[in-house]
Amino acid sequence: MSDVAMSESELAELHRELRVVARDLLRRNAAKAGPDQTYPTVDWSLLVDTGWLGLEIPEEFDGAGATFAEVAVVLHELGRAAASTPYLGTAVLGVGALGLLEAGAARDELLRAVAAGEQRPALALPTGDSDGDVTAFRLAAAPVSEGDQPGAGRMVVSGSADFVPDAAGADRILLLAADESGTPVVVAVRPTDPGVTVSDRPVLDETRHLGTVVVEGTEVDPGAVWRFRGTDPAASAASARRLLDRAALAVACDSLGLAEAMLEATVEYAGTRRQFGRPIGSFQAVKHACADMHVKITVGRELLAAAVRALAAAEDPAGPHDQEISVAVSRAKSYLGAAAVDIAGAAMQLHGGIGYTWEGGVHVYLKRALLGRSLFGAPAAHRARLAARFTAL
């Protein structure tokens, strides 16, 4: 992170500019999508050229030295466009994990390679509702067999994670693993390593690329085992938890963006489509449904802003503590996950038959909203986390 602090208004201006540019780029990109494809694809070169990949990478490694607050702006715009891109797996989760690790030659080199667009990491972490265990992989000392070199310290890693964003096509898979003492660490493997299988996991939302990562007894040398900053077990567990929060919040940013896009499309359509001799938007049933969409978006935007502020300030010693961040994230994720589905569903309804066509494209948003609602914790799972504060005595 840069040491130059910005004032709130400078930051707001910066975000505005980033947003305008991103929106414009994505719109122009959308025009390029093929006739059968109803969403834009943002390819790797665009992510590299825009510098979005390296937003959170420190300047010393050729990144922009920005924070999650700026990444959130990009995520929001990608959601608005329902863009298909490996941004989530790579820049948000991969880079996010690397940023929480102890500095080290291998990690630093990977960061630099990502900023340059030469390497594509993905992060394998639990994607569902499990709250207890945040690590999906186990790390253990390799069994010493007869002919081994003494003291090589090789380890084996095993486990699996499903629905991993942008796993297929990644050059490096970062496994969130528990070491022998149960402390979370990150183990870097390649898809070509013996015992590692990365496969596509097709989902109905075609804009997302999820994968299954299975690791069976893959041997790694100690240089591939990266520890979280602070190294002590409690701090490492908090960092692992932070990664899950980051993942959930990233999806919430996307949900807000796509909900906004659906409301705008609906308002525009309701202003032009006429029935019974008047625009359908002049009927209260339609108008009031739009008003409800707007209220949900407005509330969700506030919850999201609070959570993004909290997560972006996580490294600040005077910033919020872990519990506050998690609470803010769970509020945003539970609210927006549900709201985006409601809003995309209402958009389909208010567009009538055209809303149900493949070509119309509302289904793209509805499917993305539905996947986002489940990914990294369904609303009920996040509310269970929130409610734990009320049940405790």
Partner 1 sequence: MTIPTGSGGSTGSGGSTASGASVAGPVDLAEFRAEVQRWCRENVPSDWRRAQTGASAEEFAAFQQDWFQQLRAAGYAVPHWPAEWGGGMPVAQQVVLYQELAAHDAPRLVLGFVSIHHAASTLLVAGTDEQRRRHLPAILDGEIWVQGFSEPEAGSDLASLRTVARRDGDTFVVDGQKLWASGAAHADWCLLLARTDPDAPKRKGISYFLMDMRSPGVDVRPVRNAIGDSHFCEIFLNGVVIPAENLVGPVNAGWQVAQATLAAERGMTMLELAERLGNAGFRWLVDTCRTPGPGGGRPVDDPRVADRLAELETEITGLRALCRGLVERHEADTAGPADASVVKLFYSELLQRTMDFAVEVAGLPAHAELRKPASSGWESGAWVLDFIGSWEWTIPGGTSEIQRTIIGERGLGLPREPAASA
Contact residues toward partner 1 (CB under 8 A) are 1-2, 4-8, 10-11, 13-14, 17-18, 21, 25, 49-52, 55, 59, 64-67, 70, 263, 267, 270-271, 278-279, 281-282, 284, 286-288, 290-292, 294-295, 298-300, 302-303, 305-306, 330-331, 334-335, 380, 382-387, 390-391
Shortest distance, position 12 Cβ to partner 1, whole Å: 11
Residue in 182, 145, 140 with CA at minimum distance from that of residue 158: 140
| CB neighbourhood size of 183 (10 A) | 20
Asked if 253 contacts 276 with a C-beta cutoff of 8 angstroms, the reply is no
Q: Which is nearer to partner 1, 200 or 268 (CB)?
A: 268
Asked if 225 contacts 51 with a C-beta cutoff of 8 angstroms, the reply is no
Q: Which is nearer to partner 1, 182 or 271 (CB)?
A: 271
Q: What CA–CA distance (Å, rounded) separates 304 from 125?
A: 22
Asked if 149 contacts 74 with a C-beta cutoff of 8 angstroms, the reply is no
Using a 10 angstrom Cβ sphere, with 0-12 exposed, 13-18 middle and 19 or more buried, the burial of residue 275 is exposed
Shortest distance, position 263 Cβ to partner 1, whole Å: 8
Shortest distance, position 385 Cβ to partner 1, whole Å: 8
Q: Which is nearer to partner 1, 74 or 167 (CB)?
A: 74
Shortest distance, position 294 Cβ to partner 1, whole Å: 6
What's the token pair of residue 266?
């609906």
Q: Which is nearer to partner 1, 15 or 138 (CB)?
A: 15
Q: Which is nearer to partner 1, 192 or 391 (CB)?
A: 391
**What is residue 20's three-state secondary structure?**
helix
Shortest distance, position 383 Cβ to partner 1, whole Å: 4
Phi/psi-derived region of residue 392, left when phi > 0, alpha when psi is between -120 and 50, beta in every other case: beta
Shortest distance, position 149 Cβ to partner 1, whole Å: 46
Shortest distance, position 4 Cβ to partner 1, whole Å: 6
Q: What CA–CA distance (Å, rounded) separates 382 from 303?
A: 14
Residue in 197, 176, 302, 145 with CA at minimum distance from that of residue 242: 176
Q: Which is nearer to partner 1, 56 or 179 (CB)?
A: 56
Q: What CA–CA distance (Å, rounded) separates 163 from 174?
A: 14
Residue in 222, 240, 220, 221 with CA at minimum distance from that of residue 230: 240
Distance linking the first and last C-alpha atoms of the chain: 39
Shortest distance, position 208 Cβ to partner 1, whole Å: 24
Asked if 87 contacts 52 with a C-beta cutoff of 8 angstroms, the reply is yes
Q: Which is nearer to partner 1, 161 or 263 (CB)?
A: 263
Q: Which is nearer to partner 1, 139 or 304 (CB)?
A: 304
